[in-house]
Amino acid sequence: MSGTPTAVVGAGIIGLSTALTLADRGHSVTVYDPAPARGASHYAGGMLAPASEVVYKQDPLLPLMQASASRYPELIALCRKYSDLPTGYRTEGTLVVARDRADSTFLDDLLSYQHARGVHAQRLTVRQARALEPALSPALSSAVLSSSDHQVQPRLFTRALVDACTNAGVSFIRELVTDVSHLPQEQVVIAAGHGAKDISGWGEGDKNPLQLRPVYGDILHLRAPAHLHPLATRVVRGVVEGRAIYVIPREDATLTVGATSREDGRASAQAQGVYQLLRDAIEILPGIEDCDFVEAGAGARPATPDDLPYLGRVSERVVVSTGYFRHGILLAALAARCAAELVEKQKPCLDLSACDPMRHRRTQ
């Protein structure tokens, strides 16, 4: 199927990574999106964290996360093949810390869960953790190091992917697609995030079966003043009174702090969420209090009923790749590879049975 004309609907990190992978494999690719790189990817943290983001009772998700993390260097290299723009890819690892003894129970459970599934993570004393990150609060109770958890800077990375796609010959059409039957390409990949549920024209008489819901997350961007930079050198994740918090340092002295989770339909950052994130971040990195406030935003993560993505072929012409929820940035490498293989009607490199896009089809 070399050179197959293929449409990719959606230009977030999933769609862009897929388009670039297809173009590099010799296909003629057109991306449809009214505002490329402005959806959920624009508000994402960018953690590549298969170790520290393992999800209890969702064992089918772990091999997807691990497989994608292992392929991320290939995706970064592919982007660099076609673009000189920075991606924010960093490999210093992730520290997970607990604020008090009650929060330490969460870390104990996390470490046990990781080790039982062969995920490498290392227990540290607070002194060892502060030797790595001196700005950590001395009042923390415990820490775990996940050296294999890395990061990208999503806004930089998607900008680089758009540039790479353009240089690889991908065409961009700034239009909203609601019916793929009208597209002229031979193959179609639907990677439109939450909007994928509203797209028709799949063929074979099937109604769109995707059950997607938007889960909003407040996220903050700060800037460390010169006398504090770098406030941290690796991602710091924390548990404060049972709430999860993360702080992601960037090379430009900014820090990303996130993220809340709410299903209230409100697309703007909420005051309570901003307050909670700042309060909890200061508990683990007190220097946050002296940082400049740059931006507060909220993105809508596309979630499925079981929080597993929809990734698979649904007709002779259409492949679906959406519903990545909190893990869209991490899973982009695997999603791109598998979608390209599906377009070429090859067997995917990983078992995708748990991701069947038809699994939640309602009985009519």
CA neighbor of 45 nearest in space, from 229, 281, 287: 281
Alpha carbon separation from 288 to 44, 257, 285 (Å, rounded)? 20, 10, 6
What stretch of H or E contains 255?
Answer: strand 254-258
Enumerate residue ranges in the chain where pLDDT < 50: 1, 363-364
CA distance 210 to 48: 26
Omega of the bond leading into 50 within 30 degrees of 0 (cis): no
For 31-85, how does the pLDDT look when each residue is reduced to its tens digit (9 = 90+)? 999 999 988 899 999 999 988 887 666 788 999 999 999 999 999 999 999 999 9
Residue 65 is predicted with a pLDDT of 94
Asked if residue 40 lies in contact with residue 193, where contact means CB atoms within 8 angstroms, the answer is yes
Quote the pLDDT of residue 114.
82
Q: Which CATH class is domain 5-84+153-211+305-355?
A: alpha beta
All structural domains of the chain with their residue ranges: 5-84+153-211+305-355, 94-147+214-303
pLDDT at 54: 75
Amino acid 56: pLDDT = 65
pLDDT at residue number 39: 87
- Report d(CA 22, CA 99) in Å as an integer: 45
Around Cβ 138, how many Cβ atoms within 10 Å? 9
For residue 17, what are the CA distances in angstroms to 45, 117, 157, 217, 329? Answer: 17, 29, 10, 23, 10
- Give the pLDDT of residue 1: 40
| Architecture in CATH of 94-147+214-303 | 2-Layer Sandwich (3.30)
pTM for the model = 0.95
Backbone angles phi, psi at 87, to 5 degrees: -115, -15
pLDDT tens digits for range 216-233: 999 999 999 999 999 999
